[in-house]
Each structure stands twice: as structure tokens, then as C-alpha cells.
Chains A and B, each alone.
Chain A
């Protein structure tokens, strides 16, 4: 019997606003416990929330980027439950009327595009944190009131791979919009997964389990895969899946029951009487729309069409919006997109990853990269030279040409000079030469390597190849 999994995801994205959603406290991560709090986010008696308008802007941005309907009037609601990290005893969230509804994003898995529905996006406040230490539980409320967007998908996902593709796409959109840093380790991009299975052909949904707070793509993949397998095994062995919340144990790679349906909270949602409906006009939406950056999906399609790049390249150079922009700016100055994307993929990204920085943290500009690639193109340096110059330019922002002399990288394109080195190499390697002449063609590369070594990497490779070929042919025909 074959089974199909049905997966829906709930993502919580922390927003990059300077201040919290209902007060002026900072949202900075990692400060001393309870140093970023005020009577409002502490939920002291008599205080009232005041909505941060940036949060509304960010929500509309994401709504537009994910093809949602934007509700010009939406409501805040209270979600009531007790926990020490929730100072008011309720979380201000949206329930009946969220700010965005009915959107979708397009993912690509195994070469196939698939549209994944977004049920809703709503604004809410984050809770604080509990720290358990030396038998005591301590409360840190710095995070309390940090703005979140909760993005709820339709149950359109069928495999763990699709789920991860959806999350990656969503995360990339958030990064492109610049409204979330996407940091999963620090919890600024968190995911819960609703997973159920059903027999192939069945149209009704099976009973779902909710997997809570899984903090990496790899774990999400493993958690969902495990859960699907667990549910299928359960059904196959005559059991029944129960509706419950499960936690993923990353060390064991399994999910564990946390609480059942009977213990599920009744959150007693109701409209928050302290906040007016969030209302805005079409002009507000239009203004945001006008400022909206191109979303990753559109950018990728455009790059493929406009620059004629392979999908693989596009995938990589559009991962980061800054890199994609950098590529485009360079492409305007240097008319060989493939060379640029190659260089970015092999050299620039390597540098950035090693140093764990972004392109904007370096001093290289599109025009500097264009110059560097032109030097390479005009054979004034070779690839090794470019590789040596790149970090210098990134660090200093100086003209790449100025490093040629300094690093002694000028390419040798003088035929006589190269021929002299070829002759020396052939003379020093008589045995190999004889073998080559008696038919061991493979040794051609050996001679190239030896000459290159002699030139300390500076010989113009193209010229070198031609000249060796010519010299060997001469010797052979003798």
C-alpha cells in the first residue's frame, strides 16, 4: 500500500524593526537579560500597547511578495495562556481577521515547479525566554514584544523535500525584503510542521501531528521524514495516529509526544479591546508596492532569460540579493555574464564564506570586478593572478591593475620568453620527451605544467599551449 504525506507549515519570522511591536524598547539580540524592557512589554498594571507602524509595513511587504490579498482592515486579538515568559498572560496576535490572506509562493523540486498556498500571514508579539539554572527558573523578557510575522501555509506540501524547498524560498523572500535576518539558530526564523499521512488516492486528510520548533533545514527534513515513516508504520501495524504535539529530538533523530489533544490549550481568543483595527487605504499599499524589490522567483527567471545563464548558476548567484545586484551591476560593465557568474561562484563566494561576511562588507565594487575580469580577458593576468588580486581588492577597494606590479603577476605573453622556458623544460626532461614522441600523448599536460611552474604561474596559458604544441610537433616531424 502506498501512502502520501500531507504537510502544512507555520513559520514565525522575527522582524528587523529597531523597536518592539507595542513599545519603544530595542529588539537587539543578545543583550543582558531584562535590559531591554519597559512597563509596557513587562505587562505592568494599567499600561497599554501602541502599535509600531513599521510592523504593518513589513507585513504588507511580505503579503505582496507572496501574492496575498491585503486586508485593509484587520484585527488584533488576545491569545490567552499562562506562562512565565508571557508577562500579560496573553499574547497579542491576530486571529479572525489577519492582515494578509490567500497567497502563494512557487517552489521547485526535482526540476518541477509547484505552487504552495499561503493561508494567512499575521502580526504578533514574541514571548520572552526562560533560563533554567541551578534548580531555579529565570525569566528574561528582552525578547518579549519583538514583532513576528506568522506565515501559515496550506497543506499543499507532500514531501520533506518540498517542505524544505518552501522554507528556503520563504526565507529567501524575507531576506530579499530585508525584513527578517533569517537566522534559524538565534530563532529569528522558526518553523512548526503539521504532518499527516493518507493512503494514495484518498482525498480526506489523515490525523495530523504538530512538530514544534525545529531549528535547521536539515532537522526539518529529518523530523518530517521520521514522522511520515512513524505514522505509516503505525497505520500499517493496525494502530491509529492521534492528534498531538510532538518534539523533534535532534540527537536521536526522532519525534516524541509532548502533549495530546486533550491537553491542548483553549486560547480563548477575542479581539483586543486596547487596540483599534489596523486600517489603511489603497495608497498605503501602493506606496509599499512601488518600493518592493523583485522577489527571488522573478529574479531567477529574468536572469536565465536576460543573461542566458544556466539555472544552476542563477540559483547560486541569486541566493543573496546583494550578490545578485552585484552581478547585475558588473554585467552592465563587462559583457560576459557567464564569466562573471563563474568568477562570483568560484572565487568571490569562496572568499565571503571563508570570512563569513557579505559582499557589502567588502570594498569591491562592480566596476572593480569588471576591471579585474577585463585584465584577465586581455591576458594581462591569468586566473591565478586574478585569484591573488581579488582578496586585495576586496580589502582595499583599490584598482586591480595596481596589484599586478606589486604582486609580480604580470602575465608572460612574450613568445620568445615562453619558448625559452619550453626548450629548457624539454631539455631537462629528455626521458619524458622520448616517451611522448613514441606516442604517450598524455605527457603533453606534464610539459605544460612544468613550463607553468618555471614561469611561476605567469605564463599566458593559451599561448603556452600553442607554443608547446608547435614545438613538440616540430620535434615529432623531424
Chain B
């Protein structure tokens, strides 16, 4: 049994055929984590014992004749998604000891199906970052080059897949946090339509932007995982009361006659040549598959980053107010009064980037600035949304790079937040509009680092973009999703 072969669909096939047990598979992954994580630091918490117990339980259920795609299948979960009785830290000192008494709805769904949680993956603190360097538990390293960052904020989730530490993982995406690390680590990552997946139990960063999504080895696995976690949840008022298609059965691989838009605004100065080249090649592949390539324009693209850093931070400044040392998590010591408790707890409990964003967001909402910042940003957001709506009147999907660069070196951009924020230039507008998008590997640059291509769909068209991704994947026979194969 080789780790590289253990995709989600392969695991359930092996379990169905009784060729192995959940325990055996779980232990193989746990062993890999033990070995790899010294180098990659992809996990904050590894559930060594609990995972084995869960695997045993799944094996017993299978022994009684029960079947299910996820029964006994191990998976990794980003550490901002609440897991009952398992520490959930958001990679922050302020929650370093927080054990939720409840699970996120997505976790609940997977647990009911008998999935095994391997552990909680490292991330940028409170999902704020594009390089996974802001974690209180140290940076995550890219298995393709350990001197490089894996992308962020779901860096640990992407690395756990690329490093063969898990067959698949859950991440969250507020401005590219699933797709950008997926791209930089050479795996598949999908951000669903806003409201497609319940946010209940996802520790909020930017509530109007956050979505949970899968990071997997291939598109089929992505479809399998998404159909498991998607759907209306009465605990989340913003989740959409819309039926969930069986995505995995809709991967026909036929994209003949589909119109794929290529936005001119997504080929910018400062983009690495290696990325441009691979994207152009990919476009040729789509042509060869019978898709029609259409030049389009998303005219308000340039405002995305500014709008995002006003709205996301405004929401974050409010969302993170609850971490005050009163009820749970870190509380500073040696305090003389309430005000000092607040100030010291937050000062010591939050990292630099989180504090920067809280201050930015507080400012954007402050009376006298609200209209100029938050309110203005909300209006421009509507324009960005309209850009996409107009585009989808003409095309079936939009293709563009996921990230302007491949994985950069640790420390390369930490001193320059604006430069760092530009890492998300191609992913951010998708969150502002609320549409779904997937990133899939499309080859390697001259440094042998993975490049990702992004396919953006109209609202609730996850099936379409996954099918386009699947057709491409098939046509190029898939790229290596891990340096270890």
C-alpha cells in the first residue's frame, strides 16, 4: 500500500473490497505525519490516539456491513474549523488552549459518515496571511522546497495533501486561502459559492467572504468531499437552501463548445514568466478539448484588493472582539483592572498581522470614516459582483492564473504587507463576488515549483467548474500533486 495511491476514492474502494482496514490506512498516514511534520510543520494538533480509535470504530461499522464513501476515510481539518473535544487554535496564542464543546457543521457531517480526523492543520493566524508565516505555532514549509512558503492561509491543509500526510483536507477561503496554497503546493483546492457550505463552527475572519472548501489530490476527490460537506444548514442563516448535486457523478470530462472567458485584467505586470507560460499552455489545452476561448473584461478588478482590505478587516475587527480574556482562551496575567485585562490580553494574545488588520478594520468602521471606507467599499464590491454577472452572460466559466507567482521564499514578503497582499490579487474578487472557483495544477515553473490555474464559475456552478477542471486534468493526465511521487 503506497501513500501516493491513497486518494479518497481509492481508500473507500480498498475498504469496500476489504483489502485493508481504516486502522491500517490511518496508521500509515499518522506515521507519515510524524516523519514529515518535523520538516513541514503542517499540523498544529495530530490526533494520534483519537484517530486510531475513530478508525477502529469505522472498521467495526464496516464489519457489520455498513458502507459509505467516507466510512473510515482519514482527513485533515484546518485549525479554524471547530472540532468537539479537539483543540482548535486558529494558530493564535489567544486560542492556544481552546477546546470547543461543539463541532462545525462540516465536521459533524463528516463524522456522521464515519470519517477519521487525523489532526488540525496549521494556518496563518486567524486565516490572515498568504504565506502561512503568521502562525503562532511557526511557519509551514512547502514540501516542494522547504525554504519556501506553502501559501496561505490554508498552508497546512495544502501541505498535508502535497506532503502525503493526508489524502485530503478541509481549508477555508476568505480571499484565496484555499486556492492560493493549493496552487503553490500543486494540489486541487475549491472555494464554493458563498452560502454553499455552512459556516457554522468556522471561526470567522470575514463573515461575508469566508467559505470552507476541500483541498485534494485530484478533481474527483474534490467533488466527493464537496458533495459531503455542502448544503443548507439551519444553524447558518447565510447558507443557501438549495439542493446539492452529486458532483462526482457530473464529471463527464466533456467541455466541447463551452465558452471560457480569459479576463485581460488577470495578466498583469509583475506576474512571473513561468506562470504566464503555463497558463497560456493550459489555454491551448482547453482549446484542444473543444472549448471556445473568449477575451473578456472584468473592469473593476483593480479595486479588489482595496475593497477586500476594508471589508474583510472591518468584519474581522468585530469578529475578533470576543477574544477578550473573559470567557475562554488566553488571559494576560498580573492585571489591575478590566481595561488592562482587555489591552494586555489582546496585545499579548494576537500576532502582528492580526493586530494590523483589527486596527485597519476598526478605522474603516469608525464614525466619520465609515462612509469613505466601509460604505464606499461595499458599493465598489457591488460593481465587482456585477463584473462577474455580466461576464457570465457571455461565458460559461472564467480561466485565469490562481497566483501571480509560484511559492516564494520564507521571509521574502513579511516586511512588506502590501506586497504580501498582492499575492491574492487573482483570488480576492471571487470572494467579494461570492462565486465559486477552483485551482488545479497546470505544471511547473523553471524552478520546478507548481503553477495553478483558476477556473471561476457563476453562482452555484461548482459542478461546471469541476467538470472543466476534470477535463483538463484528464487531458494532461494530471500533474504530480506531490514531490514524493
Binding site for B on A (CB under 8 A): 39, 42-51, 78, 80, 82, 84, 87-90, 137, 139, 266-270, 273-276
Contacts and interface: CB of A to CB of B under 8 A. Distances in A.
A39 B88 CA distance: 15
B414 interface: no
A268 B313 CA distance: 13
A51 B318 CA distance: 19
A44 B100 contact: yes
A343 to B, nearest CB: 53
A45 B80 CA distance: 9
Given A50-B237, A88-B322, A89-B324, A268 B202 contact: no
B327 A268 contact: no
A46 B326 contact: no
Interface string B330-364: 00000000100010000000000000000000100
Nearest to A265: B367
B200 to A, nearest CB: 5
Interface stretch (B12-20, B110-118, B203-211, B274-282): B203-211
Given A268-B365, A273-B238, A47 B200 contact: yes
Nearest to A137: B338
A88 B367 contact: no
18 contacts: A39-B101, A42-B327, A44-B100, A44-B102, A45-B323, A46-B202, A47-B201, A48-B199, A48-B236, A51-B237, A80-B365, A82-B321, A82-B324, A88-B322, A90-B321, A268-B318, A268-B362, A273-B238
Q: Closest 7 CB pairs between A and B?
A: A89-B321, A273-B208, A273-B207, A268-B365, A45-B203, A46-B201, A46-B203
Interface of B: 80-82, 88, 90, 95, 98, 100-102, 104, 199-204, 206-208, 234-238, 314-315, 317-318, 320-324, 326-328, 338, 342, 362, 365-367, 370, 374
Contacts of B338: 84, 137
A45 B238 contact: no
B367 A268 contact: yes
Nearest to B94: A45
A46 B204 contact: yes
Contacts of A45: 82, 88, 90, 95, 98, 100, 203-204, 322-323, 328
Nearest to B195: A276
Given A45-B203, A46-B200, A90-B318, A84 B237 contact: no
A48 B200 CA distance: 6
A90 B320 CA distance: 10
B355 to A, nearest CB: 15
B370 A270 contact: yes
A9 to B, nearest CB: 24
Contacts of A87: 322, 326-327
B235 A273 contact: no
Nearest to B104: A46
Contacts of B81: 46
Given A80-B318, A87-B327, A270 B374 contact: yes
Contacts of A48: 199-200, 235-238
B234 A266 contact: no
Nearest to A81: B321
Contacts of A49: 237
B318 A270 contact: yes
B322 A89 contact: yes
Given A46-B104, A270-B315, A274-B237, 20 more contacts: A44-B328, A45-B100, A45-B323, A46-B82, A48-B237, A48-B238, A51-B237, A80-B317, A80-B321, A82-B324, A84-B326, A87-B322, A90-B318, A139-B327, A266-B367, A267-B367, A268-B362, A270-B318, A270-B374, A273-B238
A269 B362 CA distance: 11
Nearest to B367: A266
A47 B98 CA distance: 14
Nearest to A275: B237
A244 B315 CA distance: 30
B100 A46 contact: yes
Contacts of B101: 39, 44
A267 B365 CA distance: 9
A322 B374 CA distance: 50
Q: Count chain B CB atoms within 10 A of each CB in A43, A46, A270 and give the residue with the most.
A: A46
A276 B234 CA distance: 13
A139 B374 contact: no
A63 to B, nearest CB: 22
B322 A270 contact: no
Contacts of A82: 321, 324, 342
A78 B204 CA distance: 15
Nearest to B89: A45
A102 to B, nearest CB: 24
A42 B100 CA distance: 12
B342 A78 contact: no
Contacts of B208: 273
Contacts of B327: 42-44, 87, 139
B7 to A, nearest CB: 29
B358 to A, nearest CB: 11
Contacts of A275: 237-238
Contacts of A266: 366-367
Contacts of B98: 45
Contacts of A276: 237-238
A88 B321 contact: yes
A43 B329 CA distance: 13
